[in-house]
Amino acid sequence: MTSPTTSLTKEQIAAFHREGYLVLDAITAQEEVERLRLIYDRLFSDKIGWASGNQFDLAGTDEGDQATLPQILGPSQYAPELKETRYLRNAQGMARELLGEEMLPRNGEHMIYKPPGIGAATPWHQDQAYHDPTIRAYGVNFWMPLDDATVESGCLHFVPGSHKLDVLPHHSINHDPRIHGLEVDDPEKWASKGIACPVPAGGATLHAAFMLHYAGPNRTDQSRRAYTLAFRLPPDQRETPIDNYWSRNQQTARAERAQQANR
Ligand X SMILES: O=C(O)CCC(=O)C(=O)O
Q: Is 159 in the site for ligand X (CB under 6 A)?
A: no
In whole angstroms, how close is the CB of 215 to ligand X at the nearest point? 3
Q: Is 247 in the site for ligand X (CB under 6 A)?
A: no
Q: Is 127 in the site for ligand X (CB under 6 A)?
A: yes
DSSP secondary-structure letter at 234? P
DSSP secondary-structure letter at 40? H
CB 154 within 8 A of CB 114: yes
Q: Exposed e or buried b for every residue in 67-95, given b needs 16+ CB within 10 A?
A: bbbbbbbebbebbeebeebebbebbeebb
SS3 178: coil
Q: Is 171 in the site for ligand X (CB under 6 A)?
A: no
In terms of CB distance, is 127 or 183 closer to ligand X?
Answer: 127
Of 143, 210, 231, 246, the one binding ligand X by CB under 6 A: 143
Over the window 175 to 214, marking each residue x when it contacts ligand X by CB under 6 A and - when it does not, the resulting string is --------------------------------------x-
Q: How far is CA 89 from CA 6, 92, 95, 144, 199, in A?
A: 9, 5, 10, 13, 20
Helix (H) / strand (E) containing 97: helix 86-99
Helices (H), 3-57: 10-19, 30-45
In terms of CB distance, is 127 or 147 closer to ligand X?
Answer: 127
Q: Is 126 in the site for ligand X (CB under 6 A)?
A: no
Looking from the CA of 218 toward its CB, the CA atoms found within 13 Å total 23
In terms of CB distance, is 51 or 91 closer to ligand X?
Answer: 91
Of 67, 103, 112, 140, the one binding ligand X by CB under 6 A: 112
In whole angstroms, how close is the CB of 132 to ligand X at the nearest point? 16
Say how far apart CA 126 and CA 182 lie, in whole Å: 9
CB 114 within 8 A of CB 215: yes
In whole angstroms, how close is the CB of 121 to ligand X at the nearest point? 8
In terms of CB distance, is 226 or 233 closer to ligand X?
Answer: 226
Q: Is 226 in the site for ligand X (CB under 6 A)?
A: yes
- Number of residues binding to ligand X, judged by CB under 6 A: 10
Say how far apart CA 95 and CA 253 lie, in whole Å: 34
In terms of CB distance, is 178 or 213 closer to ligand X?
Answer: 213
Site for ligand X in 36-95 (CB under 6 A): none
Q: Is 150 in the site for ligand X (CB under 6 A)?
A: no
Write out the residues near ligand X by the rule CB under 6 A: 112, 122, 127, 141, 143, 154, 213, 215, 226, 228
